[in-house]
Amino acid sequence: MKILLVEDENTIAVTLTDDLEQAGHQVTTLGDGREAVGLLRNETFDCVITDVRLPGADGLAVLKAAKQARPDTEVFVITAFATIENAVAAMRDGADDYIQKPFLNDTVIERLKRVEEYRLVLDENRRLREQLGSNTGLPGVIGRSRAMQDVFKVVRTVATTEASVLIEGESGTGKERIARAVHTLSSRAEGPFVALSCGALPDTLLETELFGHERGAFTDAGKMRKGRFELASGGTIFFDDIDDMPASVQVKLLRVLQEREFERVGGEQSIKVDIRVVSASKVPLVELVKRGEFREDLFYRLNVVPIALPPLRDRDGDVPVLVQHFIRQLGNGRQFTVKTDVLEAMSKYTWPGNVRELENHVAQAIAMAGGATVLKKQHLLPVDKSRRAALEPPTDLPTLREVLVDAERRHIETVLHAMGGHRTKAASALGISRKVLWEKLKDYGIE
C-alpha cells in the first residue's frame, strides 16, 4: 500500500520505515506536520501513520487533512500516555486506530494487513459500480459474490423472454428488486410494473384488488374500479408472497394465467389482458404443494423459470459492498466510513433479516452519527445475546474511547492522591491547566 509516515522521532521513523518497506509497502516519511498537511493537499495515500506531537502542525491537523483529501484513507495515530486526551480527540475526529508508545513494528504491520484487505474490498466495490451499467450487473441490484453472479446470469437470460418467473428466497433478500430487474430488462420495460403483496390483504379484498369491481358490486362500491390485472396490461404483474395466497383466489388466478382474461367482481364482461407474471415466495412452493396447501397446477404455471435468491449469509464478500452502497444511498451526500474490524464482524454475522436488516442498521448508524464521520459498531450490528456467538469480536466489548476515558479517569485519581489532593500541583503534573482539571473532575465525578 501507499503509506505516509509522519514521525519526528528519528529512531522510530527509520526503523518503522525499513520494516514497512520490507513488508512490501511504498512509504513516504516526513518529520514535520505542516509538510505532511501540504503533501496531503496534492497527494492521496491508502494509509497515514502520524504522531500526535509534531513540529509545524500536530497529528490532529494531519488527520483532518488526510480525511479531507480521501475520506476512506485509514489513519493510525501514534500517542504516548501523556497525550491520551489527544488520542481520544483523534478517535472522535475519525482516526481508525491508535498506536501507543512503545510499540512493536510487527504490530503495525499486522494491522496494515487488515487495512489492505479492506482496500481490496473497496476496489471491488468501485469495479462493481462500473459494471452496473454493463452486461455483468443488474439494475438496482448489488452483489459481487459468486452466488449473486449466478442469479444475474439467469435473470439476463430469461428477461428477454415471456416466460413466467418464480423467485424463491428468505424475507429481506431482495426478491422484488430481482422482479423489477426482470421487467426493466424485458421488452415490456416501457409498460407498467404492478406489484401486489398477497399476504397483506384478506381474501375478499385480495380478489377485488386483482380483478377490480363494477359499480354496485357490493356495499360501498360507488364506482367502477380497475384491478391490478388491468393496470398491468402491457407490462408485468408481480405477486409477492404468493405462498400466502388463499386457495379460493388460487383457482381464479390459474384461469387468468391459462386464458389471459377475467371478469371484474360483479361484472359479466370478459376482459383480456396482456401480462407477464413474476411471483415470489419466502418458502419453497413445492413443499406447500406436497402438503396440499398450494395448487399443483398453479405451481407449474408459475414455476416456468425458477430463481433461487441466496440469503445474505451465503453471499461471501457482499456485506462490505452493500454497506458502501447504503452509505452512498442514505448518507445525503455526507462521507461516512466503517472501520475494518467492524466490517469483519458484520461479514461474520448471519443477518437473519438479510439485506433489509443490513440496510436498516446502516440507516440507524447514519441517523445516530451526529457530527461524526465514522459509523459506530453498536449501531451497525444488532445487540442480541442469542446471536452474540455469531459475532466476532463480541459486541459487549467496550469501545476504544471508553477504554481511553476510563484510563484517563483512573490516572487523574492516582495523580491527585499522590499530590495529596492539591489540584494545582496535580494539574501541573498532568500537563494541563487547573481549569481543565476542574472540568474533568466534574465530568468524572471525582471528589
CA distance 3 to 26: 6
**CA 117 remoteness from chain centre:** 17
Half-sphere exposure of 154 (CA within 13 A, CB side): 18
Ranges of the chain whose pLDDT falls below 50: 82, 132-135, 385-393
Q: Which residues pair with 195 in a beta bridge?
A: 238
- Domains, the chain: 2-128 (3.40.50.2300), 146-310 (3.40.50.300), 315-391 (1.10.8.60), 401-444 (1.10.10.60)
DSSP 8-state symbol, 281:
E
Under a CB-based contact definition with an 8 Å cutoff, are residues 177 and 140 in contact? yes
CA distance 393 to 391: 6
Question: What is the model's pLDDT at position 187?
Answer: 92
CA distance 235 to 424: 79
Question: What is the model's pLDDT at position 200?
Answer: 77
Question: What is the model's pLDDT at position 218?
Answer: 66
Question: What is the model's pLDDT at position 126?
Answer: 60
Instruction: Report residue 49: phi and psi, to 5°.
Output: -115, 115
Pairing of strands 97-100, 165-168: unpaired
Under a CB-based contact definition with an 8 Å cutoff, are residues 235 and 183 in contact? yes
Which one, of 8, 9, 3, lies nearest residue 21 by Cα? 3
Q: Cell 500500500, residue? A: 1
Q: Which residues pair with 74 in a beta bridge?
A: 47
Question: What is the model's pLDDT at position 183?
Answer: 95
Residues in the chain: 447
C-alpha separations of 204 from 114, 209, 249, 301, 331 in Å:
57, 9, 9, 23, 42
Q: Where are the beta strands (DSSP E) in 198-257?
A: 212-213, 225-226, 236-240
Question: What is the model's pLDDT at position 153?
Answer: 92
